[in-house]
A and B are shown apart, each in its own frame.
Chain A
């Protein structure tokens, strides 16, 4: 058990809809990272938050947004969903912002767009 909790585990919705994925980091971790994993693109870094502030952005679409709340949990919002957004979405957490502390991953949310 990594200590990172993601909900829901599965989400099925239709094109054009909006969904919110939730992540609770390991106790004490201040950084949260979001990733998208698909068969054709592999594991893609989306965005990082540290102690409530955005720290780094990766290949995140404008239709996607995220935030980290004062209790350090994070939400990833996906809107105007398209078939190509079907993927596994992972959250990871670490103790700091630098690479000297490894990331710990949640079990992911599987998003299916019909």
Chain B
């Protein structure tokens, strides 16, 4: 079945760039998403990319997709303490008209001064 893997923790200094990596196995994945979860809150959609794209930039966020290696990354420029959260990568394909996403276990980003 589908599998999405992420490293569990990432620690960065405030002002540096953060890069969160994700690998997936389903070659039919069409949509790849990044979500952010702050303590006590739900998952907030950050950005998403379609599989026919290599890169997407949205302010401080840059998503890179290497479809050949099934590797997705999220780069956060000028990381701030408010970026501390759990970041989830998710992949999905519209199979039979239904979207059943597979989520990674999340990467805890810790930003220290």
Contacts and interface: CB of A to CB of B under 8 A. Distances in A.
Given A43-B88, A99-B93, A105 B101 contact: no
Interface stretch (A11-19, A64-72, A75-83, A90-98): A90-98
Interface string A42-78: 1101001010000110100000000000000000000
Contacts of B105: 42-43
State which size class the interface on A falls in.
20 to 34
**Max count, chain A CB within 10 A of own CB: residue among B35, B43, B94:** B43
Interface of A: 2, 4, 31, 42-43, 45, 48, 50, 55-56, 58, 90, 92, 94, 96-108
Interface of B: 30-31, 33, 35, 40-45, 48, 88, 92-94, 97-106
